[in-house]
Structure 1
Amino acid sequence: MELKNLKNKLQDIVNESSGQISLAFSSNEGDILINEHLKMKAASVIKLPILIESFRLAEEKKLDLNKAIHIENQKKVAGTGVIYYMTESNVYSYRNLLELMMIVSDNTASNIALKTVGMDRVNQLSVILNCQNTKIERNFMDTEAIANGFENSTTAFDMLQYLKLVGEPNKIINNESRQEMLSILSKQQFNQKLPGYNYSDSGVSFYNKTGELPGFEHDISLIKKNDKTVYVAVLSNGWTDNFSGKKKLAEIGKEIINYM
Protein backbone atom coordinates (compact mmCIF):
# COMPACT_ATOMS: atom_id res chain seq x y z
CA MET A 1 0.00 0.00 0.00
CA GLU A 2 1.30 3.46 -0.88
CA LEU A 3 1.30 6.28 1.67
CA LYS A 4 -1.38 8.24 -0.20
CA ASN A 5 -3.69 5.22 -0.05
CA LEU A 6 -3.09 4.87 3.67
CA LYS A 7 -3.85 8.55 4.16
CA ASN A 8 -7.17 8.20 2.32
CA LYS A 9 -8.16 5.15 4.36
CA LEU A 10 -7.27 6.80 7.67
CA GLN A 11 -9.10 9.97 6.70
CA ASP A 12 -12.20 7.91 5.88
CA ILE A 13 -12.06 6.21 9.29
CA VAL A 14 -11.80 9.58 11.02
CA ASN A 15 -14.61 11.09 8.94
CA GLU A 16 -16.95 8.17 9.62
CA SER A 17 -16.25 8.09 13.35
CA SER A 18 -18.87 9.03 15.94
CA GLY A 19 -16.02 10.13 18.21
CA GLN A 20 -13.43 12.83 17.69
CA ILE A 21 -10.06 11.49 16.50
CA SER A 22 -6.67 13.17 16.24
CA LEU A 23 -3.86 11.31 14.50
CA ALA A 24 -0.18 11.83 13.79
CA PHE A 25 1.70 9.29 11.67
CA SER A 26 5.30 9.45 10.49
CA SER A 27 7.38 7.23 8.21
CA ASN A 28 10.40 7.68 5.96
CA GLU A 29 7.93 8.09 3.09
CA GLY A 30 6.15 11.02 4.71
CA ASP A 31 3.67 12.04 7.39
CA ILE A 32 -0.09 11.83 7.84
CA LEU A 33 -1.52 14.48 10.14
CA ILE A 34 -5.23 14.71 10.98
CA ASN A 35 -6.39 17.08 13.75
CA GLU A 36 -2.89 16.54 15.11
CA HIS A 37 -2.84 19.60 17.39
CA LEU A 38 -6.20 18.89 19.03
CA LYS A 39 -5.55 19.07 22.78
CA MET A 40 -7.07 16.30 24.90
CA LYS A 41 -6.85 14.79 28.36
CA ALA A 42 -3.69 12.70 28.18
CA ALA A 43 -4.79 9.76 30.34
CA SER A 44 -1.98 7.21 30.62
CA VAL A 45 -0.05 8.08 27.45
CA ILE A 46 1.56 10.84 29.55
CA LYS A 47 3.46 8.02 31.28
CA LEU A 48 5.84 7.83 28.31
CA PRO A 49 7.46 11.21 29.15
CA ILE A 50 7.76 10.03 32.78
CA LEU A 51 9.58 6.92 31.57
CA ILE A 52 11.96 8.99 29.45
CA GLU A 53 12.70 11.40 32.29
CA SER A 54 13.43 8.49 34.64
CA PHE A 55 16.08 7.18 32.27
CA ARG A 56 17.50 10.67 31.79
CA LEU A 57 17.81 10.99 35.56
CA ALA A 58 19.56 7.62 35.68
CA GLU A 59 21.99 8.76 32.97
CA GLU A 60 22.82 11.76 35.14
CA LYS A 61 23.65 9.35 38.00
CA LYS A 62 20.87 10.91 40.09
CA LEU A 63 18.72 7.77 40.13
CA ASP A 64 19.59 4.12 40.70
CA LEU A 65 17.16 2.03 38.66
CA ASN A 66 17.98 -1.01 40.83
CA LYS A 67 17.18 0.74 44.11
CA ALA A 68 14.57 -1.10 46.19
CA ILE A 69 11.44 0.98 46.78
CA HIS A 70 9.17 0.17 49.72
CA ILE A 71 5.57 1.17 49.06
CA GLU A 72 3.45 1.99 52.10
CA ASN A 73 -0.17 0.95 51.77
CA GLN A 74 -1.40 4.55 51.96
CA LYS A 75 0.65 5.35 48.85
CA LYS A 76 -1.24 2.81 46.77
CA VAL A 77 -3.96 3.98 44.37
CA ALA A 78 -6.54 1.99 42.43
CA GLY A 79 -7.39 2.06 38.74
CA THR A 80 -5.19 0.28 36.23
CA GLY A 81 -2.30 -1.84 37.41
CA VAL A 82 -1.68 -4.54 40.00
CA ILE A 83 0.22 -3.12 42.99
CA TYR A 84 -2.94 -1.82 44.69
CA TYR A 85 -4.47 -5.29 44.51
CA MET A 86 -1.43 -7.32 45.60
CA THR A 87 -1.23 -8.81 49.09
CA GLU A 88 1.98 -8.24 51.05
CA SER A 89 3.91 -7.22 47.93
CA ASN A 90 5.30 -3.82 48.79
CA VAL A 91 8.95 -3.86 47.67
CA TYR A 92 10.01 -3.38 44.05
CA SER A 93 13.08 -2.05 42.29
CA TYR A 94 12.59 1.32 40.62
CA ARG A 95 13.13 -0.42 37.28
CA ASN A 96 10.28 -2.82 38.15
CA LEU A 97 8.03 0.17 38.85
CA LEU A 98 8.81 1.64 35.44
CA GLU A 99 8.01 -1.71 33.84
CA LEU A 100 4.69 -1.92 35.69
CA MET A 101 3.90 1.71 34.79
CA MET A 102 4.21 0.94 31.09
CA ILE A 103 3.28 -2.75 30.72
CA VAL A 104 0.08 -2.70 32.81
CA SER A 105 -0.20 1.08 33.29
CA ASP A 106 0.08 0.75 37.06
CA ASN A 107 -1.05 4.00 38.68
CA THR A 108 0.76 3.44 41.99
CA ALA A 109 4.04 2.84 40.16
CA SER A 110 3.36 5.88 37.98
CA ASN A 111 2.81 8.19 40.95
CA ILE A 112 6.06 7.05 42.58
CA ALA A 113 7.94 7.57 39.31
CA LEU A 114 6.37 11.01 38.84
CA LYS A 115 7.27 12.05 42.37
CA THR A 116 10.84 10.80 41.85
CA VAL A 117 11.50 12.78 38.67
CA GLY A 118 9.17 15.67 39.49
CA MET A 119 6.46 17.31 37.41
CA ASP A 120 8.76 20.20 36.60
CA ARG A 121 11.31 17.93 34.88
CA VAL A 122 8.61 16.18 32.85
CA ASN A 123 7.18 19.52 31.77
CA GLN A 124 10.65 20.84 30.98
CA LEU A 125 11.14 17.93 28.60
CA SER A 126 8.02 19.10 26.76
CA VAL A 127 9.61 22.55 26.47
CA ILE A 128 12.85 21.05 25.13
CA LEU A 129 10.89 19.11 22.48
CA ASN A 130 8.69 22.13 21.69
CA CYS A 131 5.64 20.12 22.70
CA GLN A 132 3.65 23.20 23.59
CA ASN A 133 0.37 21.42 24.28
CA THR A 134 1.68 18.79 26.68
CA LYS A 135 1.61 19.41 30.41
CA ILE A 136 1.32 17.27 33.51
CA GLU A 137 -0.44 18.92 36.44
CA ARG A 138 -1.58 16.13 38.74
CA ASN A 139 -0.92 12.64 40.02
CA PHE A 140 -2.87 9.67 38.71
CA MET A 141 -6.22 8.97 40.40
CA ASP A 142 -6.02 12.33 42.22
CA THR A 143 -9.72 13.15 42.33
CA GLU A 144 -9.21 16.25 44.45
CA ALA A 145 -6.82 17.77 41.90
CA ILE A 146 -9.25 16.93 39.10
CA ALA A 147 -12.08 18.62 41.01
CA ASN A 148 -9.88 21.72 41.36
CA GLY A 149 -9.32 21.89 37.60
CA PHE A 150 -5.86 20.30 37.29
CA GLU A 151 -5.43 17.99 34.33
CA ASN A 152 -2.77 16.24 32.27
CA SER A 153 -3.04 17.10 28.59
CA THR A 154 -1.34 16.45 25.27
CA THR A 155 -1.85 16.12 21.51
CA ALA A 156 -1.19 13.40 18.97
CA PHE A 157 1.53 15.56 17.38
CA ASP A 158 3.33 15.99 20.70
CA MET A 159 3.15 12.29 21.50
CA LEU A 160 4.79 11.58 18.15
CA GLN A 161 7.82 13.57 19.29
CA TYR A 162 8.20 11.45 22.43
CA LEU A 163 7.93 8.25 20.39
CA LYS A 164 10.68 9.46 18.06
CA LEU A 165 12.85 10.24 21.07
CA VAL A 166 12.69 6.54 21.96
CA GLY A 167 12.94 5.28 18.38
CA GLU A 168 15.70 7.41 16.88
CA PRO A 169 19.24 8.40 17.98
CA ASN A 170 19.27 11.85 19.55
CA LYS A 171 21.19 14.09 21.96
CA ILE A 172 18.60 13.94 24.75
CA ILE A 173 18.71 10.25 25.70
CA ASN A 174 21.44 7.71 24.96
CA ASN A 175 21.09 4.57 22.86
CA GLU A 176 21.35 2.18 25.81
CA SER A 177 18.42 3.87 27.52
CA ARG A 178 16.44 3.91 24.29
CA GLN A 179 16.92 0.17 23.80
CA GLU A 180 15.77 -0.59 27.34
CA MET A 181 12.68 1.57 26.91
CA LEU A 182 11.89 -0.18 23.63
CA SER A 183 12.18 -3.51 25.40
CA ILE A 184 9.69 -2.35 28.04
CA LEU A 185 7.25 -1.06 25.41
CA SER A 186 7.45 -4.37 23.54
CA LYS A 187 5.92 -6.15 26.56
CA GLN A 188 2.70 -4.09 26.58
CA GLN A 189 -0.24 -6.13 27.87
CA PHE A 190 -3.03 -3.90 26.49
CA ASN A 191 -3.06 -4.82 22.80
CA GLN A 192 -6.70 -4.50 21.76
CA LYS A 193 -6.36 -1.04 20.18
CA LEU A 194 -3.79 -0.27 17.45
CA PRO A 195 -2.37 -3.85 17.51
CA GLY A 196 -5.86 -5.37 17.71
CA TYR A 197 -5.79 -6.92 14.22
CA ASN A 198 -2.14 -7.94 14.30
CA TYR A 199 -1.46 -11.67 13.89
CA SER A 200 1.41 -13.75 15.16
CA ASP A 201 3.22 -14.35 11.85
CA SER A 202 2.71 -10.88 10.34
CA GLY A 203 6.27 -9.84 11.16
CA VAL A 204 4.88 -6.55 12.48
CA SER A 205 5.86 -5.58 16.03
CA PHE A 206 4.19 -2.91 18.19
CA TYR A 207 5.91 -0.92 20.95
CA ASN A 208 2.98 0.93 22.41
CA LYS A 209 1.38 2.70 25.35
CA THR A 210 -2.36 3.07 25.74
CA GLY A 211 -4.51 5.44 27.73
CA GLU A 212 -8.18 5.68 28.51
CA LEU A 213 -10.73 7.57 30.56
CA PRO A 214 -14.53 7.49 30.29
CA GLY A 215 -15.17 8.63 26.70
CA PHE A 216 -11.45 8.75 25.83
CA GLU A 217 -9.38 6.10 24.01
CA HIS A 218 -5.70 6.64 23.13
CA ASP A 219 -2.84 4.54 21.77
CA ILE A 220 0.66 5.60 20.72
CA SER A 221 3.16 3.25 19.12
CA LEU A 222 6.38 2.60 17.28
CA ILE A 223 5.65 -0.10 14.72
CA LYS A 224 8.41 -2.15 13.14
CA LYS A 225 8.72 -4.71 10.37
CA ASN A 226 12.21 -5.78 9.34
CA ASP A 227 14.16 -2.54 8.89
CA LYS A 228 11.06 -0.36 8.49
CA THR A 229 9.81 1.77 11.39
CA VAL A 230 6.78 4.03 11.57
CA TYR A 231 5.38 6.10 14.41
CA VAL A 232 1.72 6.70 15.15
CA ALA A 233 -0.18 8.52 17.88
CA VAL A 234 -3.97 8.37 18.01
CA LEU A 235 -6.00 10.26 20.59
CA SER A 236 -9.77 10.17 20.65
CA ASN A 237 -12.73 11.30 22.72
CA GLY A 238 -16.49 11.66 22.59
CA TRP A 239 -17.29 7.94 22.79
CA THR A 240 -20.63 7.07 24.35
CA ASP A 241 -19.06 3.69 25.11
CA ASN A 242 -15.33 3.06 25.23
CA PHE A 243 -15.56 -0.24 23.36
CA SER A 244 -16.54 1.67 20.22
CA GLY A 245 -13.40 3.75 20.57
CA LYS A 246 -11.23 0.68 20.97
CA LYS A 247 -12.70 -0.82 17.79
CA LYS A 248 -12.07 2.38 15.84
CA LEU A 249 -8.43 2.51 16.93
CA ALA A 250 -8.08 -1.14 15.94
CA GLU A 251 -9.39 -0.25 12.46
CA ILE A 252 -6.69 2.42 12.19
CA GLY A 253 -4.08 -0.09 13.30
CA LYS A 254 -5.32 -2.63 10.74
CA GLU A 255 -4.68 -0.21 7.88
CA ILE A 256 -1.21 0.57 9.19
CA ILE A 257 -0.45 -3.16 9.44
CA ASN A 258 -1.50 -3.51 5.79
CA TYR A 259 0.76 -0.58 4.91
CA MET A 260 3.71 -2.21 6.69
Structure 2
Amino acid sequence: MERLRQRLSALLAKAEGTWGVVVEDLDRGTRFEHQASASFIAESVIKVPIMAAVYAAADLGQFAMEDRLALRKEDLVKGSGLLHALSPGLKLTIRELVTLMIIQSDNTATNVLIDLIGKERIDLTMHELGMRESAFSRKLMIYPVDIAENNTITAGDVARMLGKLATGTFLSHRACEDMMAIMKKQQVRNGLPSLLPTAEGQPDWEIACKSGWDTGRQHDAGVLYVGERRLSIVALSQDVRPESALGVLGQLGKEVYEYAKR
Protein backbone atom coordinates (compact mmCIF):
# COMPACT_ATOMS: atom_id res chain seq x y z
CA MET A 1 0.00 0.00 0.00
CA GLU A 2 3.01 2.30 0.17
CA ARG A 3 2.51 3.66 -3.34
CA LEU A 4 -1.16 4.37 -2.58
CA ARG A 5 -0.18 6.16 0.65
CA GLN A 6 2.19 8.39 -1.28
CA ARG A 7 -0.38 9.23 -3.94
CA LEU A 8 -3.14 9.97 -1.42
CA SER A 9 -0.80 12.10 0.69
CA ALA A 10 0.15 14.13 -2.39
CA LEU A 11 -3.51 14.56 -3.36
CA LEU A 12 -4.53 15.77 0.10
CA ALA A 13 -1.49 18.05 0.44
CA LYS A 14 -2.80 20.23 -2.38
CA ALA A 15 -6.51 19.84 -1.62
CA GLU A 16 -8.55 22.87 -0.60
CA GLY A 17 -9.92 22.96 2.96
CA THR A 18 -9.50 20.47 5.81
CA TRP A 19 -9.79 16.73 5.27
CA GLY A 20 -10.12 13.61 7.38
CA VAL A 21 -9.46 10.48 5.33
CA VAL A 22 -9.10 6.78 6.07
CA VAL A 23 -8.63 4.08 3.44
CA GLU A 24 -8.46 0.48 4.66
CA ASP A 25 -7.75 -2.71 2.74
CA LEU A 26 -10.21 -4.96 4.56
CA ASP A 27 -8.65 -8.14 3.21
CA ARG A 28 -5.01 -7.34 3.98
CA GLY A 29 -5.44 -5.21 7.10
CA THR A 30 -3.40 -2.26 5.80
CA ARG A 31 -4.61 1.34 5.96
CA PHE A 32 -3.93 4.97 5.15
CA GLU A 33 -4.89 7.69 7.63
CA HIS A 34 -5.00 11.47 7.38
CA GLN A 35 -6.41 13.32 10.40
CA ALA A 36 -8.47 10.26 11.28
CA SER A 37 -9.50 11.64 14.69
CA ALA A 38 -10.48 15.14 13.53
CA SER A 39 -14.12 15.92 14.27
CA PHE A 40 -16.49 16.97 11.47
CA ILE A 41 -20.18 17.87 11.40
CA ALA A 42 -21.66 14.57 10.26
CA GLU A 43 -24.20 15.74 7.68
CA SER A 44 -26.00 12.75 6.16
CA VAL A 45 -23.22 10.24 6.85
CA ILE A 46 -24.89 9.91 10.27
CA LYS A 47 -27.67 8.02 8.47
CA VAL A 48 -25.50 4.90 8.21
CA PRO A 49 -25.26 4.29 11.99
CA ILE A 50 -28.97 5.16 12.21
CA MET A 51 -29.62 2.37 9.70
CA ALA A 52 -27.52 0.00 11.82
CA ALA A 53 -29.49 1.03 14.92
CA VAL A 54 -32.77 0.21 13.14
CA TYR A 55 -31.44 -3.26 12.30
CA ALA A 56 -30.27 -3.70 15.90
CA ALA A 57 -33.74 -2.86 17.22
CA ALA A 58 -35.33 -5.28 14.74
CA ASP A 59 -32.84 -7.95 15.83
CA LEU A 60 -34.12 -7.49 19.39
CA GLY A 61 -37.68 -8.14 18.21
CA GLN A 62 -38.96 -4.58 18.74
CA PHE A 63 -40.49 -4.65 15.24
CA ALA A 64 -40.15 -6.40 11.88
CA MET A 65 -38.52 -4.66 8.93
CA GLU A 66 -41.73 -5.26 6.92
CA ASP A 67 -43.94 -3.48 9.49
CA ARG A 68 -45.55 -0.35 8.05
CA LEU A 69 -45.52 3.17 9.48
CA ALA A 70 -47.85 6.00 8.43
CA LEU A 71 -46.33 9.38 7.65
CA ARG A 72 -47.62 12.20 9.84
CA LYS A 73 -47.81 15.85 8.81
CA GLU A 74 -45.34 16.75 11.57
CA ASP A 75 -42.84 14.22 10.16
CA LEU A 76 -42.41 16.06 6.86
CA VAL A 77 -39.17 18.04 6.60
CA LYS A 78 -37.50 19.45 3.51
CA GLY A 79 -33.97 19.01 2.22
CA SER A 80 -32.93 15.74 0.62
CA GLY A 81 -35.47 13.15 -0.44
CA LEU A 82 -39.01 13.14 -1.78
CA LEU A 83 -41.26 12.09 1.12
CA HIS A 84 -41.80 15.71 2.19
CA ALA A 85 -43.68 16.24 -1.10
CA LEU A 86 -46.06 13.33 -0.49
CA SER A 87 -49.27 13.15 1.52
CA PRO A 88 -49.53 12.39 5.25
CA GLY A 89 -51.07 8.99 5.86
CA LEU A 90 -48.87 7.24 3.31
CA LYS A 91 -47.72 3.91 4.79
CA LEU A 92 -44.22 2.59 4.12
CA THR A 93 -42.40 -0.43 5.49
CA ILE A 94 -39.49 0.17 7.83
CA ARG A 95 -37.22 -1.38 5.20
CA GLU A 96 -38.53 1.10 2.60
CA LEU A 97 -37.89 4.01 4.97
CA VAL A 98 -34.32 2.80 5.56
CA THR A 99 -33.77 2.44 1.84
CA LEU A 100 -35.00 5.98 1.11
CA MET A 101 -32.89 7.32 3.99
CA ILE A 102 -29.76 5.83 2.43
CA ILE A 103 -30.16 5.91 -1.35
CA GLN A 104 -31.93 9.30 -1.58
CA SER A 105 -30.73 10.67 1.77
CA ASP A 106 -34.38 11.33 2.63
CA ASN A 107 -34.59 13.49 5.77
CA THR A 108 -38.25 12.73 6.48
CA ALA A 109 -37.56 8.98 6.42
CA THR A 110 -34.59 9.56 8.71
CA ASN A 111 -36.61 11.45 11.32
CA VAL A 112 -39.41 8.86 11.30
CA LEU A 113 -36.81 6.15 12.02
CA ILE A 114 -35.15 8.24 14.75
CA ASP A 115 -38.54 8.58 16.47
CA LEU A 116 -39.11 4.84 16.08
CA ILE A 117 -35.89 3.68 17.76
CA GLY A 118 -34.87 6.64 19.96
CA LYS A 119 -31.59 8.34 20.76
CA GLU A 120 -30.51 5.74 23.32
CA ARG A 121 -30.56 2.94 20.72
CA ILE A 122 -28.57 5.08 18.27
CA ASP A 123 -25.99 5.96 20.93
CA LEU A 124 -25.61 2.31 21.94
CA THR A 125 -25.27 1.16 18.34
CA MET A 126 -22.61 3.77 17.60
CA HIS A 127 -20.69 2.55 20.65
CA GLU A 128 -20.99 -1.07 19.47
CA LEU A 129 -19.73 -0.03 16.03
CA GLY A 130 -16.62 1.50 17.57
CA MET A 131 -17.71 5.11 17.00
CA ARG A 132 -16.33 6.37 20.32
CA GLU A 133 -15.34 9.85 19.08
CA SER A 134 -18.62 10.57 17.27
CA ALA A 135 -21.97 11.77 18.63
CA PHE A 136 -25.64 11.80 17.63
CA SER A 137 -27.48 14.84 19.03
CA ARG A 138 -30.62 15.61 17.03
CA LYS A 139 -32.89 14.88 14.11
CA LEU A 140 -32.32 16.23 10.60
CA MET A 141 -33.52 19.72 9.54
CA ILE A 142 -34.86 20.33 13.06
CA TYR A 143 -33.06 22.72 15.43
CA PRO A 144 -34.49 22.46 18.98
CA VAL A 145 -33.80 25.47 21.19
CA ASP A 146 -32.40 23.20 23.93
CA ILE A 147 -29.94 21.32 21.64
CA ALA A 148 -27.10 23.41 20.23
CA GLU A 149 -24.85 20.50 19.29
CA ASN A 150 -24.53 19.07 15.81
CA ASN A 151 -24.17 15.38 14.98
CA THR A 152 -20.42 14.75 14.66
CA ILE A 153 -18.18 12.02 13.22
CA THR A 154 -14.51 11.25 12.62
CA ALA A 155 -13.04 9.44 9.64
CA GLY A 156 -11.58 6.81 11.96
CA ASP A 157 -14.96 6.08 13.53
CA VAL A 158 -16.74 5.81 10.19
CA ALA A 159 -14.00 3.48 8.94
CA ARG A 160 -14.45 1.22 11.98
CA MET A 161 -18.20 1.11 11.36
CA LEU A 162 -17.78 0.29 7.65
CA GLY A 163 -15.27 -2.42 8.49
CA LYS A 164 -17.80 -4.15 10.75
CA LEU A 165 -20.62 -3.90 8.23
CA ALA A 166 -18.49 -5.05 5.28
CA THR A 167 -17.07 -8.06 7.13
CA GLY A 168 -20.38 -9.14 8.67
CA THR A 169 -19.27 -8.67 12.27
CA PHE A 170 -22.17 -6.48 13.50
CA LEU A 171 -25.36 -8.29 14.59
CA SER A 172 -25.22 -11.04 11.95
CA HIS A 173 -23.76 -11.73 8.55
CA ARG A 174 -27.25 -11.56 7.03
CA ALA A 175 -28.05 -8.17 8.60
CA CYS A 176 -24.75 -6.74 7.39
CA GLU A 177 -25.31 -8.10 3.87
CA ASP A 178 -28.75 -6.50 3.88
CA MET A 179 -27.37 -3.10 4.88
CA MET A 180 -24.55 -3.21 2.35
CA ALA A 181 -27.02 -4.20 -0.37
CA ILE A 182 -29.04 -1.08 0.38
CA MET A 183 -25.92 1.09 0.26
CA LYS A 184 -24.99 -0.40 -3.13
CA LYS A 185 -28.23 1.09 -4.53
CA GLN A 186 -27.02 4.61 -3.73
CA GLN A 187 -28.37 7.19 -6.19
CA VAL A 188 -26.11 10.09 -5.15
CA ARG A 189 -22.87 9.09 -6.89
CA ASN A 190 -21.08 12.39 -7.57
CA GLY A 191 -18.26 11.74 -5.09
CA LEU A 192 -16.13 8.62 -4.63
CA PRO A 193 -17.54 6.68 -7.62
CA SER A 194 -17.65 9.63 -10.03
CA LEU A 195 -14.38 8.81 -11.85
CA LEU A 196 -14.60 5.02 -11.73
CA PRO A 197 -14.62 3.34 -15.15
CA THR A 198 -17.82 2.48 -16.91
CA ALA A 199 -18.12 -0.38 -19.35
CA GLU A 200 -20.64 -2.13 -21.52
CA GLY A 201 -22.50 -4.64 -19.41
CA GLN A 202 -21.38 -5.27 -15.84
CA PRO A 203 -18.47 -3.13 -14.53
CA ASP A 204 -15.72 -4.85 -12.53
CA TRP A 205 -16.52 -2.85 -9.38
CA GLU A 206 -19.35 -2.05 -6.97
CA ILE A 207 -19.54 0.56 -4.27
CA ALA A 208 -21.74 0.74 -1.19
CA CYS A 209 -21.59 4.37 -0.13
CA LYS A 210 -23.26 7.30 1.63
CA SER A 211 -22.47 10.96 1.14
CA GLY A 212 -23.35 14.11 3.06
CA TRP A 213 -23.00 17.80 2.32
CA ASP A 214 -23.82 21.36 3.29
CA THR A 215 -22.22 24.73 2.73
CA GLY A 216 -18.45 24.29 2.99
CA ARG A 217 -18.67 20.54 3.69
CA GLN A 218 -18.66 17.53 1.37
CA HIS A 219 -18.33 13.96 2.71
CA ASP A 220 -18.46 10.52 1.18
CA ALA A 221 -17.85 7.12 2.75
CA GLY A 222 -18.21 3.60 1.47
CA VAL A 223 -16.84 0.19 0.66
CA LEU A 224 -15.42 -0.40 -2.81
CA TYR A 225 -15.60 -3.95 -4.17
CA VAL A 226 -13.19 -4.77 -7.00
CA GLY A 227 -13.29 -8.46 -7.87
CA GLU A 228 -12.70 -10.24 -4.56
CA ARG A 229 -11.14 -7.13 -2.98
CA ARG A 230 -12.88 -4.96 -0.37
CA LEU A 231 -11.60 -1.51 0.55
CA SER A 232 -13.29 1.05 2.77
CA ILE A 233 -12.89 4.73 1.95
CA VAL A 234 -13.91 7.57 4.26
CA ALA A 235 -13.36 11.17 3.20
CA LEU A 236 -14.69 14.10 5.24
CA SER A 237 -14.07 17.74 4.36
CA GLN A 238 -14.81 21.25 5.56
CA ASP A 239 -14.03 24.83 4.48
CA VAL A 240 -14.12 23.69 0.88
CA ARG A 241 -16.07 24.56 -2.26
CA PRO A 242 -18.29 21.76 -3.54
CA GLU A 243 -16.70 21.52 -6.98
CA SER A 244 -13.23 21.32 -5.43
CA ALA A 245 -14.26 18.72 -2.85
CA LEU A 246 -16.10 16.56 -5.38
CA GLY A 247 -12.99 16.56 -7.56
CA VAL A 248 -10.87 15.30 -4.66
CA LEU A 249 -13.46 12.65 -3.78
CA GLY A 250 -13.48 11.38 -7.34
CA GLN A 251 -9.67 11.19 -7.41
CA LEU A 252 -9.66 9.31 -4.08
CA GLY A 253 -12.07 6.72 -5.45
CA LYS A 254 -10.03 6.37 -8.64
CA GLU A 255 -6.72 5.94 -6.79
CA VAL A 256 -8.17 3.23 -4.54
CA TYR A 257 -9.72 1.44 -7.52
CA GLU A 258 -6.39 1.43 -9.36
CA TYR A 259 -4.63 0.13 -6.24
CA ALA A 260 -7.15 -2.71 -6.00
CA LYS A 261 -6.66 -3.58 -9.66
CA ARG A 262 -2.86 -3.77 -9.19
Instruction: Tell whether the structures are fold-level matches, with TM greater than 0.5.
Output: yes
Alignment of 1:122-133 (within 5 A): 122-133=122-133
* Cα distance between partner residues in 1 of 2:127 and 2:257: 32
Asked if residue 243 in structure 1 is aligned to residue 243 in structure 2, the reply is yes
Question: Amino acid of the residue matched to residue 58 of structure 1?
Answer: A
Partner secondary structure for residue 4 of structure 2: helix
* Cα distance between partner residues in 1 of 2:206 and 2:168: 19
The alpha carbon displacement at 1:148 in A equals 4.6
Asked if residue 203 in structure 1 is aligned to residue 204 in structure 2, the reply is yes
Change (3 A) 1:242 1:143: farther
Question: Amino acid of the residue matched to residue 195 of structure 2?
Answer: Y
Encode CA deviations 1:56-78: one digit per residue, 9 max, x unaligned. 11111112111111101221000
Asked if residue 227 in structure 1 is aligned to residue 228 in structure 2, the reply is yes
Counting aligned pairs with the same residue, the percent is 22
Of the structure 1 ranges 55-64 and 123-132, higher mean CA displacement relative to structure 2 is found in: 123-132
The alpha carbon displacement at 1:183 in A equals 1.0
Asked if residue 18 in structure 1 is aligned to residue 16 in structure 2, the reply is yes
Asked if residue 93 in structure 1 is aligned to residue 66 in structure 2, the reply is no
Structure 2 alignment gaps of length 5 or more: none
* Cα distance between partner residues in 2 of 1:130 and 1:48: 13
* Cα distance between partner residues in 2 of 1:89 and 1:197: 41
Encode CA deviations 1:119-156: one digit per residue, 9 max, x unaligned. 111112232344221110010001345x8522100100
Alignment of 1:1-260 (within 5 A): 3-27=1-25, 28-29=27-28, 30-87=30-87, 90-144=90-144, 148-170=147-169, 172-201=170-199, 202-239=203-240, 241-260=241-260
The alpha carbon displacement at 1:87 in A equals 4.9
The alpha carbon displacement at 1:19 in A equals 1.1
* Cα distance between partner residues in 1 of 2:221 and 2:89: 30
* Cα distance between partner residues in 2 of 1:116 and 1:227: 37
Partner secondary structure for residue 160 of structure 1: helix
The alpha carbon displacement at 1:89 in A equals 7.3
* Cα distance between partner residues in 2 of 1:63 and 1:214: 37
Are the equivalent residues in 1 in contact too, given 2:78–2:84 (CA < 8 A)?
Answer: yes
The alpha carbon displacement at 1:206 in A equals 0.6
* Cα distance between partner residues in 2 of 1:103 and 1:32: 27
The alpha carbon displacement at 1:257 in A equals 1.6
Are the equivalent residues in 2 in contact too, given 1:165–1:173 (CA < 8 A)?
Answer: no
The alpha carbon displacement at 1:86 in A equals 2.8
Encode CA deviations 1:38-97: one digit per residue, 9 max, x unaligned. 001000101111111111111111121111111012210000011012357722111100
Are the equivalent residues in 2 in contact too, given 1:6–1:256 (CA < 8 A)?
Answer: yes
* Cα distance between partner residues in 1 of 2:176 and 2:131: 20
Task: Say what the alpha-carbon RMSD is for the aligned residues.
Answer: 1.6
* Cα distance between partner residues in 2 of 1:55 and 1:87: 27
Of the structure 1 ranges 82-91 and 152-161, higher mean CA displacement relative to structure 2 is found in: 82-91
* Cα distance between partner residues in 1 of 2:168 and 2:66: 25
TM-score (norm 1): 0.93
* Cα distance between partner residues in 2 of 1:126 and 1:52: 8
Partner secondary structure for residue 143 of structure 1: coil
